[in-house]
Amino acid sequence: AQNKRLAGLHILVTAGPTHEPIDPVRYIANRSSGKQGFAIAAALARLGARVTLVAGPVTLPTPPAVDRIDVETAREMADAVDRALPADAAVMVAAVADWHVEPASQKIKKGDATRTLALAENPDILATLARSPYRPRLLIGFAAETERVLEHATAKRIRKAADWIVANDVSGDVMGSATNTVHVVTAAGVESWERLPKDDVAARLADRIADALERTP
């Protein structure tokens, strides 16, 4: 039998992109396969945690013993996260769209006029949770960066009031790939992991989460 180090704990995971509709057939989104977030949810459940996985639109099977809530937009994701609280830890892996538009009720037709989309900012789910009375005692964000990865991730950890930021360099072929190279940024500094299968990144991160929750009960 496996070591159920996270038994009795509730952990929230967000994963995948969000889709922000423009009209009935079009949307705004960030690139995200959801693989890393789903792998993390699976690894946490293997350690015995009760896992709530709030998933944007992806085509992935639900990992064993994980409670999955499917959402489409960032605002739906924010509501689902709210409803799933309280949690002992949260791992926000989702690539949330930064903006939404007021969607047209009918398909927008092509024309010769240039069309402008009025972008409104989405809520920052991680930053909001970090400052809420329901803040989990371990709050982990992700940062997909294409340059100056550690500098941006370090700044993001402070700005969003997260405990850890897992930074990945997405200038290569990470999107949809089975492997990932990450740097874990904490108050203690930066730990850079070798390129690993996403399942191994997930297993190692789940172990670190269990270590951290054991240290600060």
Active site residues: 30
Verify binding: residue 17, ligand C5P, rule CB under 6 A: no
Q: Does residue 209 belong to the site contacting ligand C5P (CB under 6 A)?
A: no
Strands 182-186 and 196-197: unpaired
Closest listed residue to residue 205, CA positions, set 75, 96, 44: 44
Q: Interface with ligand C5P includes 49 (CB under 6 A)?
A: no
- Tell me which stretch binds ligand C5P (CB under 6 A): 20-28, 88-96, 106-114, 186-194: 88-96
User: Which segment (43-51, 120-128, 172-180, 185-193) binds ligand C5P by CB under 6 A?
Assistant: 120-128
User: Does 125 sit near ligand C5P (CB under 6 A)?
Assistant: yes
Asked if 74 is part of the footprint of ligand C5P (rule: CB under 6 A), the reply reads: yes
CB of 99 to ligand C5P, least distance (A): 9
By beta-carbon proximity to ligand C5P, the closer residue of 88 and 124 is 124
Continuous segment of H or E residues that includes residue 13: strand 10-15
Number of residues near ligand C5P (by CB under 6 A):
14
Whichever of 92 and 202 has its CB closer to ligand C5P, that residue is 92
- Give the Cα separation of 131 and 179 in Å (integer): 32
**CA-CA distance, 6 to 112, in Å (whole number)?**
58
- Choice from 13, 55, 126, 205 touching ligand C5P (CB under 6 A): 126
Q: Which is nearer to ligand C5P, 22 or 40 (CB)?
A: 40
Sequence-separated (6 or more) residues with CB below 8 Å from residue 42: 63, 64, 66, 199, 202
52 in contact with ligand C5P (CB under 6 A): no
78-83's contacts with Cβ under 8 Å and 24+ in sequence apart are: 78/122, 78/123, 78/125, 78/128, 80/54, 81/12, 81/14, 81/54, 81/125, 81/129
Q: Cα–chain-centroid distance for residue 2?
A: 26
Written as six digits, the tokens of 137 are 């005692």
Of 33, 52, 73, 122, the one binding ligand C5P (CB under 6 A) is 122
Spatial distance between the Cα atoms of 66 and 116, rounded to a whole number of angstroms? 41
Query: Which residues share a beta bridge with 186?
Result: 189
Binding track over 135-154 against ligand C5P, x by CB under 6 A: ------xxx-----------
Q: Which residues bind ligand C5P (CB under 6 A)?
A: 14, 74, 92, 94, 96, 122-126, 141-143, 156
